[in-house]
Structure 1
Amino acid sequence: MATATHHRSRGSEAAAGGLVTFAAVLLFVAGILDLFRGIMAIADDDVYVSTPNYIFKFDLTSWGWIQLVLGVVAMGVSAGLFSRALWARVVGVAIAALLIVANFLSIPYYPVWSLVLIALYAFVIWALCVVRE
């Protein structure tokens, strides 16, 4: 009776590498978008919609610094993803999850942008979790 060994085909290895690269590019682009969004909030709060009765109310300048820092971290993690580092996949899922929460909390201030970034970060999480390297 032969033992079952799992060998990866070249096609499946290429697909796995492609998904990690896809996640790295998406995380980098979404990180840049969050970086710019943070700069917008720090520089000029008039860009954002004012919502007086929102339960999760934040000072927009502080919120801008949070977005800016998370965007920079996301861009840094994407560099690790390009090198196929396991730590980068783990941190990439964590930072994408944090950014989903951050964008959820900022939906009343910038609704369409927040929803687009939530979708991008969800794709990042999916791409990093589906690959088994």
Structure 2
Amino acid sequence: MGFERSESALYLANQLAKGLSRALQKRASALGFSPGQFPVLLALWEEDGLTQRQLLDRLEVEQATLANTLSRMERDGLIARSPHPNDRRAQIIALTERGRELEALALDAAARADDEVFHGFRRFERELLKEYMRMAIANSRTTDKG
């Protein structure tokens, strides 16, 4: 009894994530951001001026990963850091004008990447798949805590 990759949800989810990332990469590079920066941009478009700790809590990534991503985003002119007014150890991470202007184009790029990967799916199939994905993500978070 061997391991069949096509029957493994973990393997399939990993391959889907790679496919979605590639589809976004094609569009994102032309706009000046990377797929790894997209979650940070989403969080800051939702609420600009967060601390690194707040971003860590919202994005559920490792501290070192976020620090590297923020450094690249600052280098690329997407964000700026400033001292926190009440906490000397913290910095406020805010979008630059370039980062704010990118929102509509980046969201469109992400939607087109979704459309590419899910080409041929009917609307209800896409919605059902996303609902299953949300359920699996919630289950994985519960498993992480227990």
Query: Structure 1 length normalisation: TM-score?
Result: 0.32
Which structure carries more helix by proportion?
Answer: 1
Which structure carries more strand by proportion?
Answer: 2
Structure with the larger RCO, 1 or 2 (CA within 8 Å, 6+ apart)? 1
Query: Structure 2 length normalisation: TM-score?
Result: 0.30
